[in-house]
Amino acid sequence: MTHTRTIQSLQNPLIKHLVKVRQNKDYRNEHQSVILEGVKPILEVAQNHRIKRLATIDMSYIPQEITADEILLVDQAALDKISGLQHSPGILAEIDMPAPSNLSHVRFLLIVDHINDPGNLGALIRSALAFGWEGIFILDHSCDIFNDKCLRAARGSTFRLPYALGGIQDLSKIISANQLNVWVADVEGVSLSESNPESRIALVLSNESGGVSSGNFANAKKITIPMPGPMESLNVAIAGSILLYSLKK
């Protein structure tokens, strides 16, 4: 049976807990919780993941299909404090953090290296799921995929795309076990229109200003998107989405 309570103080320990889950990576990991906002993303995720708590300004915001261990009825100020937005959409959830995958048997793997912008990473996760890629590996020194801005940009896809975290040695084992051919997005690479990608692909995307970590992918093939217009590069989320679509197609 779901327990419902009304909270009126911004200093309530549960409000502070939810804020800390959103703000602090170590605290998130300790409690194995993440914060997700909006009816549609929560509804999709609730099909396969436990909802620990729902916080809302109005019980009518909660669809009948969603069940939670606990419901917190709060005012707009409390919800805004938890969400970090100037005006929260009216409902948010504390959800069990999805467990990492060993990424076995993947044929199409996205690898992100030193991507620190959460909006870009979230958009790439969303594109990877949309275009049928089977997993994502987050190399050390990239943004946390459970960062609130990253989750917001991913629109729930973070909970549906298998993921793994780690260093280059962990990644190398996955690439070898799945016999993946590594392609690195690079402005000096072979044009996408002239490439002939194989059927088992690991695509490496990195910070557009810094490029991939030196030495990590020295033997990989490089690929680029031809741009007849007067621009040298694209935002990594846009370029990555084009490559994710084209290479999978």
pLDDT one-digit tens code per residue, 53-66: 999 999 999 988 88
User: What is the per-residue pLDDT for 249?
Assistant: 75
Q: Is the same domain home to 61 and 145?
A: no
Q: Is the same domain home to 116 and 219?
A: yes
Question: The domain spanning residue 50 has which CATH number?
Answer: 3.30.1330.30
The answer as to whether 101 is a domain residue is no
pTM score, whole prediction? 0.91
Q: Is the same domain home to 141 and 78?
A: no
Nearest-angstrom CA–CA distance, 111 and 181: 12
- Segment 68-116, tens digit of pLDDT: 999 999 999 999 999 988 888 899 999 999 999 999 999 999 999 999 9
Q: Is the same domain home to 155 and 219?
A: yes
Range of the domain at 130: 108-248
The residues near 194 (Cβ < 8 Å, ≥ 6 apart) are: none
- DSSP code of residue 100: P
- Are 151 and 126 a contacting pair, CB within 8 Å? no
Q: Is the same domain home to 91 and 156?
A: no
Low-confidence ranges of the chain (pLDDT < 50): 214
User: In the block, which residue shows the tokens 């009816």?
Assistant: 39
Domain count, the chain: 2
Q: Is the same domain home to 113 and 139?
A: yes
Q: Is the same domain home to 221 and 188?
A: yes
The answer as to whether 225 is a domain residue is yes
Mean confidence (pLDDT) of the chain: 90
User: What is the per-residue pLDDT for 169?
Assistant: 94
Domain termination site, one of 96, 127, 145? 96
The answer as to whether 103 is a domain residue is no
Nearest-angstrom CA–CA distance, 95 and 246: 34
The answer as to whether 210 is a domain residue is yes
Q: Is the same domain home to 142 and 89?
A: no
